[in-house]
Chains A and B, each alone.
Chain A
Amino acid sequence: MSIVDKGKEAVQGVAQAVMKKAAELAPDSLMPGGRPDPLIRRQHGHIGKPVSRVDGPLKVRGAAPFAAEVALDGMAYAALAYSTIAKGRIAAIDTAAAEAAPGVVLVMTHRNAPRLNPPPRFLSGDKAAAGDDSPIMQDDRVRWNGEPVALVLAETQEQADHARSLIRIAYEEEPAATSLATVSQAAGGCEVGTFMGEPLRAVVGDADAALAAAAHKVEVVYRTPGHNHNAIEPHAATLAWRGDELFVHDATQAVAHTAWSMAQIFGLEESQVHVTSPFVGGGFGAKGLWQHQVLAAAAARLAGRPVRIALSREGVYRIVGGRSPTEQRVALGADADGRLTAIIHRGVTPKTRHSPMPEPFILPTQSAYASETIALEVQTCYLDMVANTFMRAPGEAVGTVALECAMDELAEQLGLDPIELRIRNEPDKDPISGRPFSSRNIVAAYRAGAERFGWDRRSPTPRARREGEWLVGMGCATATYPYHRMPGGAARITLDADGRARVDVAAHEMGMGTATAQAQVAADRLGLPLEAVTVRYGDSSLPGVILAGGSQQTASVGLSVMMAHQELVGELLKLAGNDSPLAGLRAEEVESADAGLRKLDEPGRFESYASILGRAGRSELAAEGSAPMPLETMHWSMHSHGAMFCEVRVNAVTGETRVSRFLGSFDCGRILNPKTAASQFRGGIIMGLGLALMEETQFDERKGRIMNRTLADYHLPVHRDVPEIDVIWTDIPDPHAPMGARGIGEIGITGTGAAVANAIYNATGRRVRDFPITLDKLL
């Protein structure tokens, strides 16, 4: 068995430890990324240009079709009724009035819903998509407050909504676990959490003993509340059965996963389910497979009608989970020079029995700083609540709050500049795995950021600068997010006789500018003008199992296209034959340039794609490639970083915090498109400002119900809260990542919360450890 074959099992969680060791010890050259992507060297192509989004004209006209906007003939509208208890059973359900209401086509409850297989829980298999593996309307059990208990189909949405209000349900309530404090403090209430099949735990040396002996120490508890993604497009699907085939127009970050998972649930072949999702109105981890798509498909089958299900904003809160709250204890021990001798990061976070993972808040601490001893652990306990899920930078977003605020506290105790403290503890290899870093330039990012931000104007003494009613302060923190690449990447390139290329890949666009950046990359890869490349995506019939998650889509697509390109070159050389200037050349001897192939060391030996296809009488030529298993992530420690700088003004009278300036200085490898990348960085930072100052999912611990389930009650940063956000980057390519680029979608939210909190401390002398930092906590 080759190392590559073995990798497949490894990533699926089998024999992982053995595999990891093998990947660690293997020579670089056997790894994906062992030889740097040739595009890294190419400096004058489309990569790196601030190209405007190719779908911009559609989006500004409102002409980009979203899932709830596809009209199907004879379509009925769905409305859901949600349980109002956290645990128990449905004792009686009266649907007579609803059934008799005008326009009603169907009322579906557990009594008449078709029998369905359990939804495959995300991460339980290659293509498992469900954020929650609870049975869907299959019995009288209630598992959380807000679980769908009935679905009404009617001719119009108004009729469906009204009929839904006529359903009467009696419950038999049972004691439910809805209080984190009660459950986590009970004997045996908690256990070590797992993430991707591995325990969320890491130990190097005896950190507790090292802490006890440390000359300087900080021991603090930080709390972060639950968060909801709140994409402005609520979850929706418009779907229809045609015979035994199901066609779903979905809003999803995972078309291939969704098609496979829906097939499992309905007992179909994967090929019988077709999922399209050309535009997603924001995802942030939430747009996966939840109950609504399944319920709509079940109802469509029962009623024999196409169905549109568009969740209300409340509906999204009821059935689509968010980020769980965390309670994190960070203890840092340091010697007199500020060198860390102990890092302890432990804490607790709730999950449900049906969700894929606990919030893995120790992840950022794994590779942050050098220390002789490290002890990390996530404890989790089970609550009866809507399934928690992945939300932008799961782990890092809230983990950096505790770690990076604690570093600020330690810096103050040591009388050291917080940047200097971080630089002193910069590791030369991964502190836990011992692997070499693929590329790590956090110090450069700090230096560039500090200079641009004017960090030298910060007073180390808190509450030193006042302008009228306003206390002004600066803070910084480190942002970090790993490079991920998941198995399953594949893509197809089709060249036509005019020398135009189309890339087909089952990827997603939810605001990242996928089609734009990937067209730039493919144009460089193929030596074509940008206008000659189109990217088709967002359809489960296209090649690849590519999640738009973990900031991995760019790498996964990029490497898949690189592999497809290699295939294509081979095919072109075969097709070129003996009459071509390329005759007799092997794929390794040529490169793509000027809309054709040329010999690497003899550019005169060239033939255009159009000429090759023309002579062969071909109207098009297609080649498909698959990305190898992502062994590079087991061979190198691969992470992006950022240095986040914040200036706040805190009102001494009202306690209100205004963020007046923010700078993110990033080290994320090569930036493919500075225009769209800047937007992604800013978007993450703005979500981080929300995390710092206002966002909180308010959970009623008596009833297990989310209270603030509207956009009026869950506060997001609005225009007035968002200053001009400056973003810069090192642009140093990662030699081991496709195109030299690590992902950029999530890193912006990391470090931001801590940078704001540290700035607030600098402004006011008040250290708030309970997020969000609302004005009442500063009075």
Chain B
Amino acid sequence: MGVIVNGTDVELPDDPRVSLLDLLREGLHLSGTKKGCDQGACGACTVLVDGQRILSCLALAVQYEGRSVTTIEGLGDEGALHPLQQAFIEHDGFQCGYCTPGQICSAVGMIEELRRGVPSHVTADLAATAIPCSRDELRERMSGNLCRCGAHNGIMDAIAETYGAETHREAAE
């Protein structure tokens, strides 16, 4: 049994040193998942494993036997973009596009965390069962995904619009 990538069963690599990220990029030519640091510091390599976001550069491929991995290629395709992908285009949530797949996968995983009531550093009510998706929560929870082009505002707008957060700009004061 191998690892399931975007619904397809894929053989695990022979070399146990191969990261999940390198399996995707070099082994499977699924280069939508990006390598920005290979050290867990930038979030460009974010993928979903059984619905949860992980950093694929910090994951050894062989540890994911039997698990289901969704990459950016599995979220939407040319004819049918994921609503969040469409929102990224509308809100200009990227410039160079290199951090973008990681931002999108991360946001998809992050929203599930909110829905499950997983608290963050800025959550006021730790006992809440579902956490409202305020700008503060979104910013805090997306901070593991770096963007050097500075598309932060557009990324936040895209996520907020897609997931129904209060989309109004924060008050001037």
Residues on A lying within 8 angstroms of B by beta carbon are 52-53, 55-66, 68-69, 71, 156-158, 162, 229-234, 279-282, 284, 310, 312-313, 454, 510-513, 661, 675-676, 678-680, 682-687, 710-712, 716-725
Contact = CB atoms under 8 A, between A and B. Distances in A.
B95 A512 contact: yes
A593 to B, nearest CB: 30
Interface string B87-110: 011101011111111001000000
B98 A232 contact: yes
Interface in B157-173: 169-170, 172
A675 B35 CA distance: 27
A57 B96 contact: no
Given A157-B22, A233-B36, A718-B146, A57 B81 contact: yes
B97 A454 contact: no
B147 A232 contact: yes
23 contacts: A60-B104, A64-B97, A71-B29, A156-B18, A157-B22, A229-B148, A231-B98, A232-B98, A232-B149, A281-B34, A281-B96, A282-B148, A454-B172, A512-B95, A676-B95, A679-B150, A683-B150, A686-B152, A710-B37, A716-B148, A719-B138, A722-B139, A722-B153
Interface residues of B, number: 63
A310 B35 CA distance: 10
Given A454-B172, A719-B152, A724-B170, A710 B35 contact: no
B59 interface: no
B96 A511 contact: yes
A84 B12 CA distance: 37
Contacts of A66: 31, 34, 98
A678 B99 CA distance: 19
Given A68-B35, A712-B39, A232 B142 contact: no
The interface centre, meaning the residue of B29, B39, B88, B149 with most chain A CB atoms within 10 A of its CB, is B149
Interface stretch (B48-56, B62-70, B72-80, B125-133): B72-80
B154 A679 contact: yes
A62 B81 contact: no
A66 B98 CA distance: 8
A231 B96 contact: yes
Given A230-B148, A512-B95, A722-B152, A157 B26 contact: yes
B152 A511 contact: no
A233 B98 contact: yes
Interface string B105-117: 0000000000000
Query: Would you list the 9 A-B pairs with minimal beta carbon distance, nearest first?
Result: A62-B32, A511-B95, A59-B97, A683-B150, A281-B98, A511-B96, A686-B150, A69-B31, A711-B41
A677 B51 CA distance: 35
B98 A61 contact: no
A313 B32 contact: no
Given A60-B85, A71-B29, A712-B41, A724 B97 contact: no
Given A62-B31, A69-B31, A279 B92 contact: no
Contact of B100 (A59, A69, A711, A724): A59
Contacts of B34: 62, 66, 232-233, 281
The interface centre, meaning the residue of A230, A511, A675 with most chain B CB atoms within 10 A of its CB, is A511
A164 to B, nearest CB: 13
Nearest to A509: B96
Interface of B: 15, 17-18, 22, 25-26, 29, 31-42, 44, 71-73, 76-78, 81, 85-86, 88-90, 92, 94-101, 104, 138-140, 142-156, 169-170, 172
B152 to A, nearest CB: 4
A683 B153 CA distance: 10
A281 to B, nearest CB: 3
A661 B172 contact: yes
B48 to A, nearest CB: 13
Contacts of A62: 31-34, 71-73, 100-101
Contacts of A721: 143
A232 B18 CA distance: 22
Given A66-B98, A157-B26, A56 B139 contact: no
The interface centre, meaning the residue of B76, B86, B101, B144 with most chain A CB atoms within 10 A of its CB, is B101
The interface centre, meaning the residue of B32, B140, B155 with most chain A CB atoms within 10 A of its CB, is B32
A643 to B, nearest CB: 17
A56 B18 contact: no
A63 B15 contact: no
B148 A719 contact: no
A515 to B, nearest CB: 12
B38 A61 contact: no
A313 B57 CA distance: 13
A718 B143 contact: yes
Nearest to A314: B39
Contacts of A156: 15, 18, 26
Contacts of B155: 719
A454 B171 CA distance: 13
Nearest to B152: A722
A315 B62 CA distance: 27
Contact of A313 (B31, B36, B148): B36
Nearest to B27: A156
Contacts of A717: 150, 152
B38 A313 contact: yes
Given A60-B94, A158-B22, 19 more contacts: A56-B89, A57-B78, A57-B85, A60-B86, A60-B89, A61-B77, A62-B32, A63-B78, A232-B42, A232-B146, A232-B149, A313-B36, A511-B97, A683-B150, A684-B150, A685-B150, A711-B146, A719-B155, A724-B170
A105 to B, nearest CB: 16
Contact of B32 (A61, A454, A510, A722): A61
B39 A313 contact: yes
Contacts of A234: 35-37
Contact of A719 (B26, B44, B92, B139): B139
Contacts of A279: 96-97
Contacts of A683: 95, 149-151
Nearest to B140: A720
A736 B15 CA distance: 61
Contacts of A52: 89-90, 92
Nearest to B18: A158
Nearest to A511: B95
Contacts of A162: 17
A157 B19 CA distance: 11
Contacts of B170: 723-724
Contacts of A60: 72, 76, 81, 85-86, 88-89, 94, 97, 100-101, 104
B97 A312 contact: no
A578 B18 CA distance: 70
B97 A711 contact: no
Contact of A724 (B95, B151, B169): B169
A710 B89 contact: no
Contact of B92 (A63, A675, A685, A712): A675
A660 B136 CA distance: 12
Contact of B96 (A158, A282, A687): A282
Contacts of B90: 52
